[in-house]
Amino acid sequence: MKKQYLTVSPSQTKKLGETLAREILKTKPKKIAQILGLEGDLGGGKTTFLQGFARGLGIKQKILSPTFVIMKRFKVESLRFEGFYHVDCYRLKKPKEILDLGFKEIISNPQNIVVVEWADKIKKILPKNSLILKFKFVNKNSRKIWLMKRRS
């Protein structure tokens, strides 16, 4: 599975995130958390996408990258999910640092949705079949975004 999207404004990038979140809310439960890894350059649209994604989950709080705290949890008002974890790996020096925050326990709970910014920094820790979104600058407002499953 590989899909490509082109967004031409921050609001379109948010809308794509919102749409994907609503689709995930309709999916059947899995044995582990629903995991999305976001990859791309600094300022590439990851947090903008995530703001729309959180809105699609019904989260009202403002979403900012948890760069300094690394992880934030939000409650999801859904029959399928309880917690939404926003993880930012930008400041990690080693992938194993994420494990000190209980990451394995969080991703083992099928009632969690976990979105990881800078997922390429912990790619060996992410389970197979995690969804990966790659963001690429086209110009000031436009982004190409690829959605695929992690295979290895």
Domains of the chain with CATH codes: 2-149 (3.40.50.300)
CA separation for the pair 14, 80 (Å, rounded)? 22
**List of residues 6+ apart from 55 with CB closer than 8 A:** 14, 17, 18, 21
- Residue among 147, 150, 151 nearest 13 (CA): 147
Q: What pLDDT is stored for residue 85 in this prediction? A: 95
How does pLDDT run across 11-58, given as a tens digit for each residue? 999 999 999 999 999 888 889 999 999 999 888 889 999 999 999 999
Whole-structure pTM value: 0.90
User: Which ranges of 36-102 would DSSP assign to H, the alpha helix?
Assistant: 46-56
